Each structure stands twice: as structure tokens, then as C-alpha cells.
Amino acid sequence: MKRILLALLAIALPASVGFAANDSQPYAGLDARGIKALSPARIDGLLSGKGLSYALAAELNGLPGPRHVLDMAPKLGLDAVTVQQVEAIFARMNGAARQLGAEMVEAEAGLEKAFASRQATAEEIERLTAEIAAIEGRLRSVHLVAHLETEPLLTQHQKHLYAAERGYAGRPAGSRRGPGHEHQD
């Protein structure tokens, strides 16, 4: 038993020392990015309209998102009309999110350029960061509103199935009944 512990310690010690050494250089390699504040995956997500966790406040409070509802349509037993309604919500959301995502990438590129040129002023940085924050706020709103629009289209049973499939415990928190679904539990 002692040998096993010593062997595990011998393996774990160099790994923990490696982590400690990297703690002092958390941004190593990020300086090679085109837009240093955005990873390539984040840029891709912004440009393709992905959720990027912007709607967690809705999702984790029992308001399903249109993309996931469409992905689960057969499991949720959605009828054709509901699928069409959710597809329309998703299309609106995704179109707006792509446009805002492109604006955000462009604004971040402007911030990057301001610092890279060494010509940045406090006023310019305040303007650029306020612009980025405003775009990101609108982007988050687009995703959250899509959850608000999707939730009433589902029955309580479908919301329970959704929550279970997504790995959320118990009853969907804060769920409301949609029109025409009063007795479909």
C-alpha cells in the first residue's frame, strides 16, 4: 500500500509543480491572438450566434431555450405547429445574435487596435468598452427573450422532460403554463 501511495505521489508531485509554475503565467500564449481578449472559439460562437451561456438566468430557472427544444423535439413530443413556432423563435434569435456577435467582434478588434497602436486614451477606452458592454447587453437580451418566447409553447410535462433531459433536478423552477396548456400536466 505504501508503494502505491509513493508511486501516486511521485506522479502527482511533478504535475502539481507544473500547475504552480503556470499560475504565474496564466496568459502565456494569448498574446499571439488576433484579438487578444477573445479566443478563437469565442469568436466563432459570437459569429455563429451560439448561446455562450448568455441565457443561463432563463435556462436554469425553468425557461427552455429554442435550440435545445428543437434538438429534443422528438423526445418532448412536439407537434408540427409547435416545432414551427420554435423554429421561428430560433431563426429570429440566431439572426439577431449573429449580427450582434459580428458587431461585438468588430468592437473588440477596435479595442485591440487602440492598445496595439499605443495611441489609446482614457476617453477612447471608456467609449469603446461602453460600446462593447452595450452590444453584449443586447446580445444577452436576444438570447434571454428567446427563452421567454419558447417557454409558454411547452406543456408542463414537456418542461419536465426538458429539465430531466438537460440534467436539472426536480420540477422546472419558475415555470409558467402556456396558453391552452392548463390541464395537460
Residue 183 within any structural domain of the chain: no
Residue 3 within any structural domain of the chain: no
Residue 162 within any structural domain of the chain: yes
- Per-residue pLDDT, 169: 73
Residue 174 within any structural domain of the chain: no
- Contact indicator for 46, 143 with CB cutoff of 8 Å: no
Cell of 96: 439577431
Residue 178 has pLDDT above 50, yes or no: no
Average pLDDT, the chain: 86
Residue 172 has pLDDT above 80, yes or no: no
Residue 84 has pLDDT above 90, yes or no: yes
Residue 2 within any structural domain of the chain: no
- Per-residue pLDDT, 170: 58
Residue 119 within any structural domain of the chain: yes
Residue 154 within any structural domain of the chain: yes
Report the domain count for the chain: 1
17 vs 134, which has greater pLDDT? 134
- Contact indicator for 156, 69 with CB cutoff of 8 Å: no
Q: Which domain covers residue 99, as residue numbers?
A: 39-166
How confident is residue 13, by pLDDT bands cut at 50, 70 and 90? very low
| 3-class SS letters over the chain | CHHHHHHHHHHHHHHHHHHHHHHCCCCCCHHHCCCCCCCHHHHHHHHHCCCCCCCHHHHCCCCCCHHHHHHCHHHHCCCHHHHHHHHHHHHHHHHHHHHHHHHHHHHHHHHHHHHHCCCCCHHHHHHHHHHHHHHHHHHHHHHHHHHHHHHHHCCHHHHHHHHHHHCCCCCCCCCCCCCCCCCCC
Residue 6 has pLDDT above 50, yes or no: no
pLDDT tens by residue, 14-40? 444 444 446 899 999 898 999 999 999
Residue 1 within any structural domain of the chain: no
d(CA 76, CA 83): 11
Report, as an integer, the average pLDDT of 143-157: 98
